[in-house]
Structures are given as structure tokens and as C-alpha cells.
């Protein structure tokens, strides 16, 4: 049966790197980051997840979780045992189609990130990242221009392959140029078209 869990800030979820795959998780509230352990022992941030998004889809093929998930704030996830989903899928084929669609989107996002890290300038990376968050929030019925950055500047920098100082400097410049405003953890996109032009 499905089970719901609430996790406090920066605590591991029930999904940990290299553990045997048993369940998918869907974020009900809050937000999560996923990380992997790099060869040098440091954490590499591989993604961020928000309400309505699945965590653990990449584990289906490997039968073990490829990353560890940590809550970025007080968050709730719903655990969906995979065997239960398979049984339900026999009676509801549309559920299987939905999971395949989600998996396809995740793979597409991974390819976009590879392009993002390999061929864009620092400004282009951050502008593209902000617009990708905007789209994800919009797709889930939230504001596309005003949203909370629950992750730290360090997490963003790690994810994009930038220095923390670079991320902070670019965000400050974006704000000075009127592209965005920042109030605490809340960011507002003021000139979406200009951000799109920056993406290259």
C-alpha cells in the first residue's frame, strides 16, 4: 500500500543511493534534492524535485537507487511500492503510460542538463535554469514568475557546475538589470523575454 512520510529539513528520505529499488516516491509538499557520491568523495547535486514530481524513476532499470534524496525544507512524500503499481497497471493501462511519459521527460531533462553544462556560458546556464524552474512550476499549476528557491546557492552552483561566488554575482547582476527581484528565498522573474534571449 502507498504510505506518506513527512521529512524535516536536510534529512534523508527513504531513498538512498545504491539501496535496492522497491518504491517510487512522489513529492506531495516541499522540495528535495538528489545527490550522488563523486569519486573524490564529494556530493554532486543531480536534480531538484517539487510537488507532483516523481523521485526514483531512474532506478526502475537498474533495480537500485542511483542517488540519495534529501528534503530541502519540511516536506512530504508518498511512497508507491513498485509491485503495487505493476498490479494496478494491469487494470489501469493509462497509469503505465503516465509513468513512461514521466520517465521520458526525466531523460529529456538529463540531456538538456548535459547540453547546459557543456556548451553555455555561466550567464546562459543560470538564465536557462531559472526558466526551467519557471516551466516546471507553471506545468503544475503554480506561478511561473514568482516562486521560492528552496535550494541554497551552493546547491545551485554544484548542480550547474559553477562556483558559488559566480552564482551569487550573476543573480545580483540580473537583479541590478531588472531581470529578476529576490526577496529572501522568493525570486520573481520580471523580464522573461530578456532571460530567454540570454539563454543563447
Q: Which tens digits make up the pLDDT trace of 181-197? A: 999 999 999 999 999 99
Burial classification of residue 23, based on how many CB atoms lie within 10 Å of its CB (0-12 exposed, 13-18 middle, 19 or more buried)? buried
Mean pLDDT of 150-171: 96
Mean pLDDT of 28-38: 91
**82 & 129 share domain:** no
pLDDT in tens, 64-97: 998 999 999 989 989 889 888 888 878 887 877 7
Q: Give me the chain's average pLDDT, please.
A: 87
**109 & 125 share domain:** no
Give the domain range for residue 165. 121-198
pLDDT at 11 over 60: no
CATH code of the domain in which 179 resides:
1.10.10.10
Instruction: Look up the pTM and report it.
Output: 0.86
* Assigned C-alpha cell, 190: 520580471
**155 & 187 share domain:** yes
* C-alpha closest to that of 25 among 60, 64, 53: 53
**97 & 128 share domain:** no
Number of domains in the chain: 2
Amino acid at each position: 500500500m502507498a504510505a506518506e512520510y513527512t521529512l524535516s529539513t536536510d534529512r534523508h528520505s527513504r531513498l538512498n543511493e545504491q539501496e535496492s529499488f522497491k518504491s517510487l516516491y512522489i513529492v506531495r509538499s516541499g522540495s528535495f534534492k538528489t545527490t550522488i557520491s563523486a569519486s573524490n568523495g564529494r556530493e554532486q547535486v543531480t536534480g531538484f524535485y517539487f510537488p507532483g514530481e516523481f523521485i526514483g524513476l531512474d532506478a526502475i532499470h537498474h533495480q537500485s537507487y542511483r542517488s540519495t534524496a534529501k528534503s530541502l525544507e519540511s516536506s512530504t512524500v508518498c511512497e508507491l511500492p513498485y509491485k503495487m503499481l505493476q498490479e494496478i497497471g494491469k487494470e489501469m493501462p493509462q497509469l503505465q503510460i503516465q509513468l513512461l511519459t514521466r520517465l521520458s521527460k526525466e531523460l529529456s531533462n538529463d540531456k538538456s542538463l548535459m547540453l547546459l553544462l557543456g556548451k553555455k556560458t555561466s550567464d546562459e546556464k543560470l538564465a536557462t535554469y531559472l526558466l526551467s524552474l519557471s516551466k516546471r512550476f507553471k506545468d503544475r499549476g503554480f506561478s511561473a514568475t514568482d516562486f521560492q528557491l528552496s535550494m541554497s546557492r551552493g546547491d545551485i552552483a554544484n548542480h550547474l557546475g559553477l562556483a558559488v561566488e559566480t552564482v551569487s554575482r550573476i543573480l545580483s547582476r540580473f537583479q541590478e538589470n531588472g531581470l529578476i527581484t529576490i526577496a529572501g528565498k522568493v525570486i520573481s522573474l520580471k523580464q522573461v523575454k530578456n532571460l530567454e534571449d540570454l539563454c543563447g
